[in-house]
Structure 1
Amino acid sequence: MEKNDDKRPRPTIELRRSELGDAAALARILSHPEVLPGLLQMPYTGEEQWKQRLTDNLGPGRANDLHLVALIGGELVGSAGLHGSGPSPRRRHVMNIGMAVAPEAQGRGVGRALMAALVDYADNWGQVLRLELGVFVDNERAIRLYKSFGFEVEGHQRGYALRDGRYVDCYAMARLHPNPPRWGG
């Protein structure tokens, strides 16, 4: 194990595609009171709702979506996904990112591992030119992570979402493929 910024041992992080059996862990993490305020998820989502979301993610028309989970010692501690930007054929080159990491795993490389996998998939396998995400302006740790992967703030969205009874601002961030594929013939 290597050391990280806060001197805790850096654990071995396993990444894999999500499975229906992950529903309970996803419901636990994404509804955690320290995680939920950083997401656009609604509170009180349960295991059955996550089973349905995971089933939907495996359905027709979602073949290009990628939903990963991160595990430490066999326990699910993080989740991240690439999702199409909508039905318009003119935006097929764009994917949106969502991510969440359990509080006990934050600062231990989980977000970095998930983001590296998403960027690798987008750049080398997914025919993605543009990655987009939204992040609340007060989520400094996430903003630093995204910038380290080449994301830039493209807009400041005022009053973007209701969070715990207050409207809060969000940054629209994006990253363009640094070296888009070309035919070598």
Structure 2
Amino acid sequence: MEDHQHLEECSTHVEAKSTEAGSRDYVIGEDFHDGEKDLLSSEVFLQPNANEMPPAKQDDGKEGHPCGVCKKEFKRPAELRRHERTHSGEKPFSCSLCGQNFSQYGTLRRHELIHTGEKPLRCLICDAAFAQSSHLRSHEKTHTREKPFRCLICNVSFARSSNLRSHERIHTREKPFHCPICNVSFARSS
């Protein structure tokens, strides 16, 4: 199963943020959105639970906010706090249904779609529905016939990176899949 990736609709990044005043805003790229216009069909993204959002810290007026570990600078204190969790491993956002923990609030909200079965992202061409933007983008390539993943050995192209990896095993003779009954190895899982 692919890792959860950022939710995108029309290639626009949407993510919940806390403002300095403590209200909830949404970041679209670098622009703020107040949450009143329904950017996504999913209400779960536009109505965060205030108890699950970290309290907003006041901006001290400085240009940059440096990370104490790696010295990377951030424009906003909230961005620094989110980054610091990559060093600490802290995962303060917990799914109320299964208990899985997440380091980012937006990742929790996307995870919750697994439980609801909701698929708010739709293909503009055939109306297929998806819960994750990465799945929608992968699907869209079936309409464009785009094949950006090319084998460096024989130049065959593929629409999906997973298909390229599977193909490359022809050249390497790698057989990473083992039958649990007879222990025979295979290049493909099927």
The answer to which structure has the higher strand fraction is 1
Q: TM-score range by the shorter chain?
A: under 0.3
Q: Which has the higher contact order (CA 8 A, sep 6+)?
A: 1
Q: Which has the larger radius of gyration?
A: 2
TM-score by length of 1: 0.21
